[in-house]
Structure 1
Amino acid sequence: MKLRELTSFLEEIAPLAYQEDYDNSGLIVGNQDMEVSGALISLDCTESVIDEAIQLGFNLIISHHPIVFKGLKKFNGNSYVERVVIKAIKHDIAIYAIHTNLDHILQGVNKKICEKLDIRNVSILKVKAGVLKKLVTFCPLAAADNVRKALFEAGAGMVGNYSECSFNVEGIGTFKASTGSVPYVGEIGKQHHEAEVRIEVIYPVNRERVIIASLLGVHPYEEVAYDIYPLTNGFQEVGSGMIGNLEADWDELEFLKFVKQKLGAKVIRHTELRSKKIRRVAVCGGSGSFLLQNALNAGADIFITADFKYHEFFDAEGKLIIADVGHFESEQFTQELLLELITEKFCNFALRLTSQNTNPINYLI
């Protein structure tokens, strides 16, 4: 199949608009029209992963972490990043990254961690702002039902567990058609007054192109009036980290041992135990120290994540346990998640998890 078939599917699940500003998710190397022979899934794209793809005869690598975060000015092979990109281009291997956009969806990286740790009744720990917009349009009364229907079918009007949500108010619109126009109502050269409906709907930014196309396709007017407003509202289905509950209370030390075993962690760095039971658990795959206050506000007994700095451990102030399990260890199941998602959609596609351990950190035990 064409590469764009696969990337379109991935971006429907985890839209690129959901990634953080610093991120570089998406197609990093390759052409969307290339035929894909097979894909290798990895957490990181390293030289050894490229070599494995060559050996397998695969021409696509899907990694969680982008191999390129910042612009490259030279391709001399002086860094592992340059060498990976050079080798990929030389062997016609595409590299696709699906990073914080996959972190931020309900069925993404953090949900997979929760499944592994049997954390239930989960929700987003910190909802993401800036991914919702409001569309306001105006149409004649007789066309209002058709316009609303088209907007809803295109993905507008979703608010939490509710669909087909809109606000409507009637009023009078005025216009004067000029020479050369083909007005739906009214006469050329005369001001016309028309009873209209103002329709307002909220939508996620990744649906904007489809929604506007649907509006223009069904609206009866030659010139369609509409406004788009960016919203600062948080989107409950998109954001960082996850919070949920265990089925029963756990002893602190026993739960830490359980986490260590489930994640295959060599070591867990944690704050002092509080001699309290653990029931409410917050998680964040990768670097999650920025979510500590959110975990505290959500009433978490323990926050499982990675990359806490020395002084940041003090910020828990005995109100919860910080459990730093390691970056790779917290995100390792992302590979399994991607395999499941892609296999469910493309059951006959050659797909394999890398055999390479790309964790750059080793422990002397």
Structure 2
Amino acid sequence: MIKVEQIIKAMEKIAPVYLKEDFDNVGLMVGDKAEKVKRVLFALDCTLEVIEEAKDLKVDLIISHHPLIFNKPKSITTDTLQGKKIIKLIRSNINLYSSHTNLDSAENGLNQTIVEMLGFKSNEILEKSKITSHKNAGLGRMIRLDKEIDLTELISTVKSKLNINTLRVVDGNRKIKNIAIINGSGQSFFSQAVKMGADCIITGDTTYHFALDYKEMGVTIIDTGHFSSEWLVFLKAMEKIKEEFKEIEFITSTKVEDPYKFI
């Protein structure tokens, strides 16, 4: 029988904890390493709906990308949303493990996986990991195309591969040759991307003034939204875990959704 501890070891082989950013919190959020696991639920976020779904499906472990416990709580009570979730997980005997920026950064993590999902190749990292033994780890990837492609073609590819109907575009340059990709909220890497020659950046959660400035600088931004830049990519990265534990039933959450709606 597989235990939580074994799955943690497999997850941290793919995405070692020491690859996380200093601000981040990853690992076993709630639970018991000695607990047996028969069913695992994949979710981008651990919402109350996801916890209820896990309870209904008799899931033993939720693996999420975004950590439930990001900042140290002063108390755990039902007076707060976070407290409600933690208490509900404990009462339902559901373990929760989160692998966040360490999984983004890992050699075969989300940043590399999205490059491959979009049909590109990359051997350049925007911000390399400080861990010298992981020279292929870090946040963000740079793609160098052999020949220019039109922005319309790139947008079509992104929509198709990430299964999205709408996205935001800052049309700074219609001919694209060097593309920077950063999962999630990536605008803190824009300056580095431009220094490395990016004429297009694919990410999520861009803000107005960043968009305005980089448009003037002639840089195109494709903002897929935070959710769409990670959800299918996270599931793709988790295929390695599914392959390792064939005796476990892995379930993809149907309650995970983008909080934003385009109306």
| Residue number in structure 2 paired with 1:308 | 206
- On the 8 A contact 1:38/1:350 being kept in 2, the answer is yes
Q: Which of 324, 342, 345 pairs up with 2:244?
A: 345
> Partners of 1:347 and 1:32 in 2: how far apart?
19
Give the strand-richer structure, 1 or 2. Answer: 1
| Residue number in structure 1 paired with 2:253 | 354
Shift of residue 338, structure 1, vs aligned partner: 4.0
Q: Which of 332, 335, 343 pairs up with 2:234?
A: 335
The amino acid that maps onto 2:185 is S
> Partners of 1:322 and 1:15 in 2: how far apart?
31
Which consecutive residues of structure 2, in runs of 5 or more, have no partner in the other structure?
Answer: none
| Residue number in structure 2 paired with 1:321 | 220
The amino acid that maps onto 1:330 is S
Shift of residue 31, structure 1, vs aligned partner: 1.1
Shift of residue 301, structure 1, vs aligned partner: 2.3
1:77-226 correspondence runs (5 A): 77-129=78-130, 131-132=131-132, 204=133
The amino acid that maps onto 1:114 is V
Runs of 4+ in 1 over 4 A off after TM superposition: none
The amino acid that maps onto 1:33 is A
> Partners of 2:203 and 2:86 in 1: how far apart?
30
> Partners of 1:338 and 1:38 in 2: how far apart?
18
Shift of residue 248, structure 1, vs aligned partner: 4.7
The amino acid that maps onto 1:298 is M
Shift of residue 55, structure 1, vs aligned partner: 1.4
Shift of residue 75, structure 1, vs aligned partner: 2.6
| Residue number in structure 1 paired with 2:26 | 25
> Partners of 1:336 and 1:123 in 2: how far apart?
23
- On the 8 A contact 2:173/2:200 being kept in 1, the answer is no
Shift of residue 349, structure 1, vs aligned partner: 1.5
| Residue number in structure 2 paired with 1:298 | 196
Shift of residue 285, structure 1, vs aligned partner: 0.5
> Partners of 1:325 and 1:117 in 2: how far apart?
13
Deviations 1:238-285 (A, max 9, x none): 21111113465321123223323332334322223424x212211011
- On the 8 A contact 1:287/1:306 being kept in 2, the answer is yes
- On the 8 A contact 2:115/2:122 being kept in 1, the answer is no
The amino acid that maps onto 1:329 is S
Q: Which of 142, 145, 148 pairs up with 1:243?
A: 142
- On the 8 A contact 1:128/1:240 being kept in 2, the answer is yes
Give aligned pairs, total.
261
Identity fraction in percent? 34
The amino acid that maps onto 1:84 is K
| Residue number in structure 2 paired with 1:48 | 49
| Residue number in structure 2 paired with 1:256 | 155
Q: Secondary structure at the match of 1:68?
A: coil
Deviations 1:81-109 (A, max 9, x none): 22111110001100000000000112110
Supply the RMSD in Å over aligned alpha carbons.
1.8
Provide TM-score, normalisation by structure 1: 0.68
Q: Secondary structure at the match of 2:139?
A: strand
Shift of residue 122, structure 1, vs aligned partner: 3.5
> Partners of 1:5 and 1:100 in 2: how far apart?
21
The amino acid that maps onto 1:315 is D
> Partners of 1:348 and 1:126 in 2: how far apart?
37
